[in-house]
Amino acid sequence: MFETVSISAEKATQLLEQQEGHFLDFKDKRIAPAKITRAASAFCNADGGDLYIGVTESPSGFSWDGFSDPEDANQLIAALEDVSPFGTDIDGEFLFCNELTGYVLHVNARKSRSIRKSSDGKVYKRLSAQNNPVVSDDALIALRRQKGIESFESETMAIDLEVVTNSEAIIEYLLSAVPVSEPETYLRKQHLLIAGKPVVAAALLFADEPQACLPKRCGIKIYRYSSEEQARDRLVEDPITIEGSLYRQIYAAVDRAVKVVEAAAYLDDEGLRKVRYPHETLHEIITNAVLHRDYSVTDDIHIRIFENRIEIQSPGRLPGHITVNNILDERLSRNPYLVRHLNRFPNPPNKDVGEGLNTAFDSMKKLNLRSPEIKELDNSVLVAIRHESLASPAQQVVDFLKVNESIKNEQARKLTGVDTESKMKKIFENLIRAGEIEHKPGTAGRGYAYQLVVK
């Protein structure tokens, strides 16, 4: 059923020297099938991971002790198949090493779209090196939201109906709707009213001040720092707070972020300089944060503007099977009501549904800038937009000198993103050996500079 992959003794040693953790688990071949399903359930319900069956643990560490024949693992394979059919969330292969005993079953478990249960019907989730049971109702609801099975946006709210039926936001929206409808009738047909109560999505979309309904859960804060580091004493001014319905909030946040960037000038040896970012990149990433954040998390979206980058942090982890590696190719909406209805506004912020991040990445490439970096933190997603060229640091230095007389170490570090003076010096030395640049006569000390070699 599974492919057998031969590995060298060196690779086997590298594997066994690893430590168990959030993404790695070793199991003895004699493990009970029920216990192996707990590990598979835990990985699939968290962030995925690798499971190696046929490895024993002793005080001296882990050792290879595989199955005599791959068929000896059939009972465990059948148990794993009950957690998730192979090829859906999990794949398997046998590892064989000539110098070691037996076959080790390697199971690659991926972050799943669904909640996966162990053979005893219980739900587990991987946390560090533990397979923890998910028992309480609150924990199960949280997991279902993380998977995108349920969404906080569809929960009802104890607010007056008029908050969403007699607002500027709903009136402006319905003026362009086809067919024209009364607010309450429209919201009920769209399932944004349940038993006469507005759901969270209705408040976010159509309340003029949704922050009053969901305090500290649906605002945007913009910070500007006077350095490349995040520290309170580096804040240029008090944080800017953007509120209002989501449609207005997106455009207001993008507009304000652009103005803050345009107004910011940073001092270096050449005087004041300005940094530019593609408007499309800021628009799409801010829109994406508003649309796909987890509104059950008590926190705002944070936009931090530094000298060399912009960071946009949105509450909640990536939903369902989405990871930082497949986010540009896979589609899963945590908040489908928000996505759908924002797309119905005049000049919708999410004009090309499902293509926002791709547009952001393409816009950076057009300006020869590095693609945004996406990181998943403990309970948020961070997107960093760096003002760094796609060209190598050496090529950037040469290109700079083609239109400027000279360049100093500090200038070059700001230009290239190289973080230390010593690293930059090595790049200069390599360019000198290559005959591309030379020391500029008459410069020394802090003014030491380089110039192109005249060819």
Question: Hey, what are 295's tokens?
Answer: 């509104």
Q: What is the pLDDT of residue 266?
A: 61
Residue 130: phi and psi, rounded to 5, are -115, 145
Q: Other CB atoms closer than 10 Å to residue 20's CB: what's the count?
A: 17
How far apart are alpha carbons 167 and 6 in whole angstroms? Answer: 67
Q: What is the pLDDT of residue 330?
A: 81
Q: What is the pLDDT of residue 309?
A: 86
What sign for the dihedral angle of Cα 115, 119, 122, 125?
A: negative
Prior bond to 336 cis, omega within 30? no
How far apart are alpha carbons 192 and 166 in whole angstroms? Answer: 15
More confident residue, 160 or 344: 160
Measured CA to CA in angstroms, residue 5 lies from 212, 339, 376, 385 at distances of: 59, 44, 32, 40
* Count of helices and strands (H, E) across the chain: 16, 22
Give per-residue pLDDT as tens, 169-224: 999 899 877 677 899 999 998 999 999 999 999 999 999 999 999 999 999 999 99
H or E element: which one contains 242? strand 240-242
- Which amino acid is located at 301 in the chain? I
Q: What is the pTM of this model?
A: 0.70
How far apart are alpha carbons 171 and 177 in whole angstroms? Answer: 10
- Which amino acid is located at 7 in the chain? I
Q: What is the pLDDT of residue 254?
A: 95
HEC-encoded secondary structure of 127-165: ECCEEEECCCHHHHHHHHHHCCCCCHHHCECCCCCHHHH
CA 11 to chain centre: 31
- The pLDDT-based confidence of 352 (bands split at 50, 70, 90) is low
Buried b (16+ CB within 10 A) or exposed e, 422-453: eebeebbeebeeeebbeebeeeeeeeebbbbe
Q: What is the pLDDT of residue 233?
A: 55
Give per-residue pLDDT as tens, 107-151: 999 988 889 999 999 999 998 889 999 999 989 988 888 887 888
- The pLDDT-based confidence of 231 (bands split at 50, 70, 90) is low
